[in-house]
Structure formats: structure tokens, C-alpha cells
Structure 1
Amino acid sequence: MLLAIGEVARRTGLTVKAVRFYADRGLVPPVGRDRNGHRLFSDDAIVRSGLVRTLRDLGVALPEIREILDRGLRLSDVASTHADALGVRIRVLRRQQAVLRLAAERDLAPLELKLVHELVGMSEVERRDLVGGFLEVALEGVDPGVRRSMTPELCRDPSDVQVAAWVELVGLVRDLEFGGVLRRVVENYLADGVGLGRDLVAVVRDECGVALGGGVEVDSGEAGVVVGRVVGWYAGVVGSEGVGGRLVERVEAAGDPRRERYGELVAVINGWEAPEGVGEVLRWFGEALRVHGVAA
């Protein structure tokens, strides 16, 4: 049974104009004409028209559709290619969405928005070079495992929270003062690390954490006992000369809020559990050192 163009349109849900357009381009060719010269189609036109419509809705170009219909191009190959392309596009759109949400939440100025957009659009190589250069200088001399634990790996499809964390982390990486603080922490660690079973930060955390958690005031006698234990341990390792001032300098550097924040941001970006915070403990110990006259 031959079908008029209007019947093909009715059965497929397309407009007559669309069927005519596809027919003109050979996608849905007529099999003949009636006595008035109007195109006639076979039942196959229904199937072809439906497939053309579906593929167009999925973003497949007309030349590719014709290859599928007439030249045996495998639909699965075309579908795979377009699925991959859509995957890339979706990731781009999600990152753009994250940037716009960040701009709305933080009320970014135009130049700030431009910077955030550039940071989020960095390639994996650019991100690795940026952070790698920072860590190479700051962590020179430490075990490679430490560097790996401080290296963010932004995934291909980051969440809004991960994008925001990446932008904030780049700000720290580009903060020269913070880079100097981190380097000072490393140098202190290397200088004190000979013969140490554990580093100073770990000792302060273990000795002072319980006191802080129990609400012990820094000016109390109990705090003085805790301070005495840490100072005695440290003096036994590095010597007693200038031990108070040395301790204060190390605790201040290690307790810089940016250092702890960097670790938190890396955890967010990498999808890790949040690290145990030591900033509050270090600040408690630093104040206790001064109160009990050990900072000289």
C-alpha cells in the first residue's frame, strides 16, 4: 500500500514539512508519484522517518543518518561515538554549572568569575604542574608518600563542593606566605626528625588532646604538667638550650590554619575522609607554653 506524504506525517507524528525535508535529502525517499505528481511512500517510510526523528533528537547529524540508512553504517558505532561526545559535553556543563553556583553563593565580581572559570577549566596536566611545582619546593627532602598525601586529584566529573574546594586550594598554592610557612614546617621536621620515633605534632596531639578535650585551662596546674612532659620529651631529643623558643616557633608554624585547611581541601577533592584536626590542640599548647613561662 502506498502512502501520501500527509499519511506518513500522521503516522510518525512529524509535520508534512519535516517529511518533505527528509525526502528531499534522500533520507525518506518516495517510491513513486500519483497522477497529480505528489510523492508516494511505502510502509518502509514510516520506519525510516521514525528512526530519523529519533536520531535527530539525539543530536546525530543528517549525513551520519544517511550513512546509517543507506550505506550500512552500524547504528551501534554511531551511538557509541555520540554517547562519548555527550559525556564530554555533560562534564563541561556540570563544571560550568558549578562555577555559576559558586559565583552566586560568593557574589563574585566579574574578574573573580573569570579567574574561577579558568581554574576549573584547567587540564589535568596544568593542575598537576601547578600543585606539583608548589609541593616540590615546599616538601623538598621529605618522604614521597607525604607529597602524595598532599596532592589533589580533581576527578573528571567533580561535584560543586569539589570545584569550590579546588578553587580555594589554588588560592593557597599561590599564597607565597603559606608556601613559606609550609617549607618552615618541613625544615623544622627535618631538623628535629633525627632519632625521633614520632614528630613533634604527633606528640603534642597525643599529650595535649586529652587535656583540651577535658576542658583543662591553659593556666591551670594540670596544663603545666602536660606542658612539662612535652618539653621534657623534646629537650631529651634536641637538647635543652633554647628549647622553649624553639618549641614556640615550631608550634606556631605547624598550627597555621592554612596548613590544616589545605589538608581538608585535599580530602574533599580526593573524596577522602576529613583528616583529624590538630590546629586547636597546637594553639592550646602554644598558649600554655607562654603562660607557664617556657617560651623564652
Structure 2
Amino acid sequence: MDGDTMYTIGELARRTGLSVRTIRFYSDAGVVPPTRRTEAGYRLYDADAAARLDLVRTLRDLGVDLATVQRLLDREVGVGQVAAAHADALDVQIRTLRLRRAVLRAVAKRGSTPEEIELMHRLARLSDEERRRIITDFIDESFAGLDVHPGFAEKMRAALPELPDDPEPEQVDAWVELAELVGDSGFRASVRRMAEFQAAELADGGLPDGAAALADLTRQKVEQAVADGVDPRSDDARPVVDELVRAFAETWDAADGAAFRRDLLHRLDIGTDRRAERYWQLLAVINGWPVPPTLTPLFEWFIDALRPRVGEGG
């Protein structure tokens, strides 16, 4: 395509691989106008027009719309500016495709129903801001009007779901489960009770020093009891209950008796909910953090062992 050689639309089509119809469309749109016409009115194109057509085809293959192509050819915008804008657009498309792939893999793994597939797709394609809003709305409702421990509130608000651009099926599953969990009225009511209890406790002076260590002590003692096959309702569970209750009473500077055991059981009942533990585990999966161990069953064992022995002690 050099020199003064002129090409008809048919010749140009054979050389470029584009259809005659497409070249005619670009010509009529003014994107690649003919260099001149024959006396019979047929369009002829020179080497510059052919090169312009090649550029148009390349830009269109990259997804650049025709109006932008025209502006680019007319030097109204720069190539770098157009390339950057379309690279950003491709990033969005790639992210969307990755999410769809992750959803499909999750669907294939769990054999979802049509309703579950729709829910998974709808939740997975939410923006980061929309995902965060679902969680922050849940937190706002849980703490509304309460003076809870600032460190706990900050921890809740800082731990928000950040689904990666290329999530694993497990992360999609976790996000769908988390969205369903925070939308569950029973779970919301349970977390609200925890927040109200914490607010009342904070107003009464807060937790005593050493309270945090009690969780680790409970875990150790109950893990051993479970490993030994001790039924929480059996007589073999009584020494474990007595030892743990004494540790709690000493930390709270109280006497082990029926009243203290009732209060302790009430505290454990409010603070022990598998769904609350699952909330943090799901966040960890979504965000790629280490998943916290499952400890709630150990506290449930302690509750089951303490309940029939509330009237004992002293």
C-alpha cells in the first residue's frame, strides 16, 4: 500500500480482512473517508486511508467506541489518554469475569439451587462499598444508643469484608454466608443482647483485671475434660465446674455461691453463640486472614456442666 496506488472498497476489504459493509460504514461515518471517487462515483482509497483503516480496526478490537476513535483520529484526545481509560475499563471487566468464575466454581462445588445461584451472583458482584455497607449497617443497629467498650466497637468497624478481585470459591461462599448471617433477625437480636450486656457492665466498672485469661483457662480445662470423654452432666464434670467457677469468682472478687453461679451462667449464656464465632471466621476467610479456632463448643460444654450445678458452691 505505497505510492499513489488507489484501492477500491473490494480491494481494501481483501487486503485488510474487513468486510465491504464495514468499510462502507466507516466511510459513511467519516472515520475513513474515501480519498476520491471515480467518474462513476466509486470510492477509492490511498495508502494513508488504508493505514487509517488498520488503526481503526485495532482500536475497535480493543473495545474503543467509534466516537472516541473519531476523536483520536482527529487528534482531539491522545493515544495515551484513550489507552489508560480503556485499560481501566478492562480491569473492571476482568474483575467481573473473575467473580463470575468464582461464583460458578462455588456453584459447581455445592450444587446450588437456582435461587442460591441468583443470590450468590447478586451478592458477589456488589461493590466493595456496598459490601462494607451491609456490615456497617448491622454494626450500627447492634450498637445504636449504647456505650460499649470503644476497643470492641473499633475492632468491629475495622473488620470489614474485602473480597479480592480474583476470589476463591470458598471466599464467595463465605461472603454469601456472611451476608445471610448479618441479615438474620435472630443473630441480630443475639448480638444486640451481647452489646447491651457489655454496655451495662461497662457502666458498672467494666471487666476486672485477669478476665481475659479466664477464657484460656476455660479452654484448657474443658479441652482436657472433652478429651477424657467427660459428659458435662456427669459427676466427673463437677470438679471441672468447681475449679472454673472458683477462678471466675476470684477474678471478680466474689464468693462462689448460688447467686454468683446464676450470674456466671447468665453471662455465659449471653456471650456464647456459635453464630458470633462464625461471623469472625467468615470475615477471616473472605479477607485471607488466619481463621480463628472454634472454641464455642467448649464454652457450651461448660454451660451444660454448670447449669445443673447453679445451686451448689460456697
TM class by shorter-chain length? 0.7 to 0.9
Q: Structure 1 residue 294 and structure 2 residue 309: aligned?
A: yes
Q: Which AA in structure 1 matches 2:278? A: R
Q: Is the 8 A contact 1:27 1:66 kept in 2?
A: yes
Q: Is the 8 A contact 1:162 1:269 kept in 2?
A: yes
TM-score, with length taken from structure 2: 0.76
Go from structure 1 to structure 2 and tell me whether the alpha carbon gap of 1:122 and 1:21 turns closer, same or farther (over 3 Å shift): closer
1:171 is displaced (CA, Å) by 2.6
Q: Distance in 2 between matches of 1:158 and 1:237?
A: 47
Q: Which AA in structure 1 matches 2:265? A: V
Q: Distance in 2 between matches of 1:233 and 1:184?
A: 25
The residue that corresponds to 2:6 in the other structure is 3
The residue that corresponds to 1:197 in the other structure is 210
Q: Structure 1 residue 256 and structure 2 residue 273: aligned?
A: yes
The residue that corresponds to 2:23 in the other structure is 19
1:81 is displaced (CA, Å) by 1.4
Go from structure 1 to structure 2 and tell me whether the alpha carbon gap of 1:135 and 1:36 turns closer, same or farther (over 3 Å shift): closer
Go from structure 1 to structure 2 and tell me whether the alpha carbon gap of 1:187 and 1:26 turns closer, same or farther (over 3 Å shift): closer
The residue that corresponds to 1:265 in the other structure is 282
1:201 is displaced (CA, Å) by 3.4
TM-score, with length taken from structure 1: 0.80
Q: How does 1:108-123 map to 2 (within 5 A)?
A: 108-109=114-115, 119-120=123-124
The residue that corresponds to 1:225 in the other structure is 239
Q: Structure 1 residue 154 and structure 2 residue 162: aligned?
A: yes
1:93 is displaced (CA, Å) by 5.1
The residue that corresponds to 2:136 in the other structure is 132
Q: Which AA in structure 2 matches 1:195? A: P
**Count of paired positions:** 291
Unpaired stretches in structure 1, ≥5 consecutive residues:
none
1:21-57 superposed Cα distances (whole Å, 9 cap, x missing partner): 2223232233234565433322223322221112112
Once structures 1 and 2 are overlaid, which stretch shifts more, 231-240 or 20-29? 20-29
Q: Structure 1 residue 184 and structure 2 residue 193: aligned?
A: yes
Once structures 1 and 2 are overlaid, which stretch shifts more, 236-245 or 271-280? 236-245
Go from structure 1 to structure 2 and tell me whether the alpha carbon gap of 1:224 and 1:216 turns closer, same or farther (over 3 Å shift): farther
Once structures 1 and 2 are overlaid, which stretch shifts more, 74-83 or 164-173? 164-173
SS in 2 for 1:106: coil
Q: Distance in 2 between matches of 1:55 and 1:67?
A: 12
Go from structure 1 to structure 2 and tell me whether the alpha carbon gap of 1:179 and 1:30 turns closer, same or farther (over 3 Å shift): closer
Q: Which AA in structure 2 matches 1:172? A: L
Go from structure 1 to structure 2 and tell me whether the alpha carbon gap of 1:187 and 1:30 turns closer, same or farther (over 3 Å shift): closer
Q: Is the 8 A contact 1:131 1:173 kept in 2?
A: yes
Q: Is the 8 A contact 1:205 1:278 kept in 2?
A: yes
